[in-house]
């Protein structure tokens, strides 16, 4: 089943094409705490920045990339976090991936998905009825 997922889906890790490209042209640079693996192009073209990419461990969701690796992927930092660790400021909070669509997603007050009892309407609402 895992083999079929690799052929037909891109959101469950890397496709066969990505794995082949990575095997041929990629060099592993490091892994983050979630198990995502980061790669850089072996022989970049002269005058152009090297290609950098990530193969996700599980669902391919861009918000699962921590800030230090995100900076390296986008050439903000020249050295990867494995060689030059990211300096975390005292005011920075811990990285949280996108929780939309999960049970931990933000549910504003009054949402039908929020648990608990909802306050009854206060009487300032009048249902619309078409003139028939």
Q: What is the pLDDT of residues 49-79, one digit of tens each?
A: 899 999 988 888 888 898 899 999 999 989 9
Residue 28 lies in a domain: yes
Residue 51 lies in a domain: yes
Total domain count for the chain?
1
pLDDT at residue number 1: 65
Residue 86 lies in a domain: yes
Longest Cα separation, the chain = 74
Residue 27 lies in a domain: yes
Domain boundaries, position 91: 18-110
Quickly state the pLDDT bin for 18 (edges 50, 70, 90). confident
* pTM, rounded to two decimals: 0.68
Give the span between the Cα atoms of 108 and 101, in whole angstroms.
Answer: 14
Give the span between the Cα atoms of 120 and 41, in whole angstroms.
Answer: 60
- Top pLDDT among 57 and 125 is at 57
Quickly state the pLDDT bin for 10 (edges 50, 70, 90). low
Residue 5 has pLDDT above 90, yes or no: no
Residue 115 has pLDDT above 90, yes or no: no
Residue 54 lies in a domain: yes
Residue 125 lies in a domain: no
Which residue is associated with the tokens 């990629």? 26
Residue 8 lies in a domain: no
Residue 99 has pLDDT above 90, yes or no: no
């Amino acid at each position: 089943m895992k083999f079929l997922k690799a052929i037909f889906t891109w959101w469950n890790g890397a496709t066969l094409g990505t794995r082949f490209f990575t095997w041929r042209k990629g060099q592993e640079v490091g892994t983050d705490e979630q198990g995502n693996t980061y790669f850089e192009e072996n022989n970049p073209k002269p005058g152009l920045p090297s290609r950098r990419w990530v193969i996700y461990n599980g669902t391919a969701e861009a918000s699962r990339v921590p800030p230090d690796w995100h900076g390296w992927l986008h050439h903000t930092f020249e050295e990867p976090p494995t060689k030059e660790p990211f300096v975390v400021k005292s005011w920075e909070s811990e990285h949280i991936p996108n929780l939309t669509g999960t049970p931990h997603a933000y549910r504003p007050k009054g949402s039908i998905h929020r648990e608990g009892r909802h306050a009854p309407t206060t009487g300032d609402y009048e249902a619309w009825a078409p003139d028939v």
